[in-house]
A and B are shown apart, each in its own frame.
Chain A
């Protein structure tokens, strides 16, 4: 059923010309895939998908729409048929790929037999936290996660360098449209925003026990700030979090993560071997994971807010919104 809804939404996205509706549908798609992941018992993935697919990315897409306008211009492409043929070809290859796939949910599947059992059986003993997903992401494959944080950091820098305007032009910036007049929105959000911030912190520090962690927390935190700046205007928001501070924060988050690795290296163990952080391996792992998750959260939140600021500043300059 969920899968069917997913497919319908995907088709709707491809056919709709109203970009505003497309963004909303994309949000729905995100939410549906999140539910789908829950049905597959992958709560951590679902949480991330909900925060990113249904939360922050529609928000950023809306900000983009403010720049580009709501409707798609008609373009006739000569490559329409070629594109269609390629899509069919890739789809067929994917189908072929599934032919010899191990049966869904099968216990004998190689993915369940080789590496994964150790994560499930030994991770509590080795890392001493109950959430296996966090153990894999933050410790067994912690270096991948460091790389992912760098991907976010790079994306932020990329958006900045594309959308930035020089300091001189920045001074000319006019007044910022805010939605301050909407009383209901204002009151509701005033109640909502502190709750969101606290929830973000909860997700941040509770990742070892339940689903969650730095990525999701960072995104939720950023969403709260973005909501605030939409309602009360960019200028007010910028008084709270300045843009150059954000850049430094984004860099510091990544550095914080990396420095854990450097510290473990200096104390004689391998890069990111948290056992070096304390006498007792369990404690060491715990400290390591908390610190790197904090790094993740800081970078993710800072980059998301930066991207939004870059978009909306551009919007002010173009006089749109």
Chain B
């Protein structure tokens, strides 16, 4: 069975989704979904271990050799992203039952789990595959299910948010498809590895340039790079709490992966950064996005929206690292993909707990939280510290690497930008903490969230510190993957 690990990774949640629909009982569906995603998590752990020990794993779907058939190709980069996605999906799912019971109408709950698994499988499929068109197919699965998941929010505005995201997301996906079409036209292949080899011969054509443009813009829409981030704040704000925690931690990260894969593996570093002024476009956008989104988030009355804007800012850090086009910058980006997933997953789970008890997550609901829900409050504080980038947290590790990468290039203004971004984070996190500590609660007396929400929340918060101190796994993988990508990233 070990030989089948790459496909099992995707097919487990993929086939569990229709089974969930047949199970009908929400509790049963939840339990089943949880078991399956835990299994998927185990698979991704094994995969990473195998790739570390034995190098790239290739799996031929349908038994057809690439480029004729579709190939799953697991290397260090996607094994790492698979682990991020499946661990976050499983941890969030752990608390889903409690929160979903309260936030989603009874007859829609089974559909929630089915859609959740579809989205999960879609994201895993995008990451695992070595075929450019297959990326698009699984992108559609994950996008469609995300729109539906967002629309499940009780607030009527969730519908509008989902619709906005649907339009923007579809444009993004279509751009990616057009790009892939152009690439196929010029090379006659869809296999990524094969594309990477054959693209050199045609790289001076304008058709490949157009493909490059469409793919970069399309993925930037999906990963919410400023100014293409407009769908994100509403989507995160009005979606059910668990959906926000899940997509905030995974969906944009997968889009980042797609961008990295196309830029470094398929087009190659020398094409993306040498031939075209990509760095000159990405870096200013990342900086403006980072600073403006951080500033906007300070004055948000809805805490979910505040964290959503903070996510746009964090995407800024990630794209900044990619834009540097150096191994160290890429390492910082990859680190932040994992680290930001842990912090935002944790923070949004804390908000899920607040929403569960207080009925909402406006700044008013946070008043006196330190007394009414101390465990949730402290989780939020610690998660916030990680978001700011205080030493001993994961936030510090990725920012440290980003600063190192900037210094290596001698780009001192970038160092200042990163520091200013952290100061802005102090302001917006601080405001919530202040309200929680000094505010008078509406109803005094302890009203802590149930353990089913606290356990996943504290797992993530603990992870923020564990991986902040013991950085062997994250830095080891990120450094190796970055070095490998910079060295062409294709072949074996």
CB distance A139 to B64 under 8 Å? yes
Q: Give min CB distance, A280 to chain B, whole Å.
A: 15
Contact in complex: B22, A275 (CB < 8 Å): no
CA of A139 to CA of B70, assembled, Å? 10
Chain A positions within 8 Å of B137 at CB level = 144, 147-148, 151
Nearest CB of A to B394, in Å: 33
B62, closest chain A residue (CB): A272
A37 within 8 A of B: no
- Please, which residue of chain A has its CB at the minimum distance from the CB of B69? A140
B415 contacts chain A at the CB level, 8 A cutoff: no
Q: Do A151 and B133 contact each other (CB < 8 Å), given the known contacts A101-B207, A248-B22, A271-B11?
A: no
Kindly list chain B residues whose C-beta atoms are within 8 Å of the C-beta of A99.
206-207
A residues 131-167 in Cβ contact with B at 8 Å: 139-144, 147-148, 150-151, 153-155, 157-158, 160-162, 164, 166-167
| B114 and A157 within 8 A (CB) | yes
In the assembled complex, A261 has its CB within 8 A of some CB on chain B = yes
Contact A251–B138 (Cβ < 8 Å): no
Is B341 an interface residue, CB under 8 A from the partner? no
Could you say which of B147-155, B245-253, B321-329, B360-368 contacts chain A? B147-155
> Which listed residue, B141, B178, B188, touches A114 by the CB 8 Å rule?
B188
Secondary structure at the A interface, as helix, strand, loop or mixed, is helix
Give Cα A259 to B62, complex, Å: 13
User: Is the pair A161, B108 in contact by a Cβ cutoff of 8 Å?
Assistant: yes
Say if the beta carbon of B429 comes within 8 Å of chain A.
no
Tell yes or no: A100 within 8 A of B by CB.
yes
Cα–Cα, bound, A115→B70 (Å): 12
A115–B111 CB distance below 8 A: no
A67 close to B (CB within 8 Å) = no
Task: Check A283 for interface membership: any CB of B closer than 8 A.
Answer: no
Could you tell me which residues of chain B, from 100 to 133, have a CB within 8 Å of some CB in chain A? 105-108, 111-112, 114-115, 118, 121-122, 125, 133
Residue in B14, B122, B144 with the greatest tally of chain A CB atoms within 10 Å? B144
Closest Cβ–Cβ distance, residue B125 to chain A (whole Å) = 7
Q: Measured between C-beta atoms, what is the minimum distance from B261 to chain A in Å?
A: 18
- For window 249-297 of chain A, which residues contact chain B by CB distance below 8 Å? 250-252, 254-255, 258-259, 261-262, 265, 269-275
Q: How many angstroms between the C-alpha atoms of A144 and B190 in the bound complex?
A: 12
Asked if B273 is an interface residue, CB under 8 A from chain A, the answer is no
Complex Cα distance, B106 from A272, in Å, reads 37
A98 at interface by CB-CB < 8 Å: yes
Q: Which of A101, A111, A167 contacts B107 (CB 8 A)?
A: A167
* Contact status of A154 and B61, CB under 8 A, knowing A113-B188, A115-B68: no
Chain A residues 203-220 with CB under 8 Å of chain B are none
Of the listed stretches A45-53, A57-65, A89-97, A194-202, chain B binds A89-97
Complex interface: chain B residues within 8 A of A111 (CB): 184-185, 188
> Once the chains bind, are A166 and B144 in contact (CB under 8 Å)?
no
Q: How far is the CB of A52 from chain B (nearest CB, A)?
A: 15
User: Quick one: which of A116, A248, A265 contacts B4, CB cutoff 8 A?
Assistant: A265
Say whether, besides A110-B188, A162-B151, A255-B15, A157 and B111 are in contact (CB < 8 Å): yes
Question: Which residue of chain A has the shortest Cβ distance to B66 in the bound complex?
Answer: A115
Tell me whether B42 is interfacial, beta carbon within 8 Å: no
Q: Which of chain A's residues have a CB closer than 8 A to the CB of B61?
A: 142-143, 270-272
Within 8 A of A (CB), among B37-90: 59-64, 67-70
Let me know if A97 and B62 touch, CB within 8 A. Answer: no
Report if A68 contacts B (CB, 8 A): no
Given contact pairs A157-B115, A258-B14, A96 touches B62 in the complex (Cβ within 8 A) = no
Residues from chain A with Cβ under 8 Å of B188 in the complex:
109-116
Q: Is A102 engaged at the interface, CB distance under 8 Å to the other chain?
A: yes
CB under 8 Å from chain B, chain A span 169-207: none
Q: Does A119 belong to the interface (CB within 8 Å)?
A: yes
For residue A251, which residues in chain B have a CB less than 8 angstroms away from its CB?
18-19, 21-22
Q: A143 near B62 (CB under 8 angstroms)?
A: yes
Complex alpha-carbon distance, A275 and B60, angstroms: 13
A143 and B134 in contact, given A110-B187, A157-B114 (Cβ under 8 angstroms): yes
Q: Are A150 and B118 in contact (CB under 8 A)?
A: yes
Q: Assess whether A96 is in contact with B141, with CB atoms less than 8 Å apart.
A: no
B460-475 Cβ-contact flags toward A at 8 Å (1 or 0): 0000000000000000
> Does B404 belong to the interface (CB within 8 Å)?
no
Instruction: Please name all residues of chain B whose beta carbon is closer than 8 Å to the beta carbon of A255 when the two chains form the complex.
Output: 15, 18-19
Give the distance in Å from the alpha carbon of A154 to the alpha carbon of B140 in the complex: 9
List B contacts of A248 (CB < 8 A): 21-22
Contact B70 A97 (CB under 8 A): no
CA distance A248 to B23 in the complex (A): 9
Binds A, one of B210-218, B282-290, B378-386: B210-218
Docked Cα-Cα span, A114 to B69, in Å, equals 13
Q: What is the bound-complex CA distance between A100 and B201, given in angstroms? A: 13
Of the listed residues B22, B108, B188, B214, the one surrounded by the most CB atoms of chain A closer than 10 A to its CB is B188
Q: Decide yes or no: A101 and B111 within 8 Å by CB, A93-B214, A147-B138 being known contacts.
A: no
Question: Is B198 an interface residue when CB atoms closer than 8 A count as contact?
Answer: yes
**B297 in contact (CB, < 8 A):** no
Nearest neighbor of B118 in chain A, beta-carbon distance: A154
Alpha-carbon separation in the docked complex, A143 to B106 (Å): 34
Answer whether residue A118 sits at the interface, using C-beta atoms and an 8 A cutoff: yes
Query: From residue B69, how far is it (CB to closest CB) to chain A in Å?
Result: 5
Cα distance A141–B114 when bound, in Å? 25
Query: Given A114-B188, A254-B18 in contact, is the A100-B206 Cβ separation under 8 Å?
Result: yes
Q: Is there an interface contact between A166 and B105, defined as CB atoms closer than 8 Å?
A: yes
Chain B nearest CB: distance from A273 CB in Å? 3
Q: Which of B4, B121, B148, B210 contacts A271 (CB 8 A)?
A: B4
Please tell me if the beta carbons of B213 and A93 are within 8 angstroms of each other in the complex.
yes
Interface string of B365-401 (1 = CB under 8 A from A): 0000000000000000000000000000000000000
Q: Judge whether B145 is part of the interface by a CB distance below 8 angstroms.
A: yes
- Most B C-beta atoms less than 10 A away, residue of A112, A141, A265: A141
- A312 CA to B79 CA, complexed, in Å: 45
A-contact 0/1 string along B423-444, CB 8 Å cutoff: 0000000000000000000000
* Residue among B67, B140, B151, B207 making CB contact with A98, cutoff 8 Å: B207
A119 contact set on B, CB distance < 8 A: 68
Could you tell me the distance between the alpha carbons of A216 and B205 in the complex, rounded to whole angstroms? 38
Contacts of B180-219 to chain A: CB distance below 8 A: 182, 184-190, 198, 202, 205-211, 213-214
Closest chain B CB from A314 CB (angstroms): 14
| Contact, CB under 8 Å: B62 / A273 | yes
A residues with CB within 8 A of B: 93-94, 96-102, 109-116, 118-119, 139-144, 147-148, 150-151, 153-155, 157-158, 160-162, 164, 166-167, 247-248, 250-252, 254-255, 258-259, 261-262, 265, 269-275
11 new A-B contacts at CB < 8 Å, known A141-B62, A270-B4: A110-B185, A112-B188, A113-B188, A115-B189, A139-B62, A150-B14, A150-B121, A157-B111, A161-B112, A251-B19, A252-B22
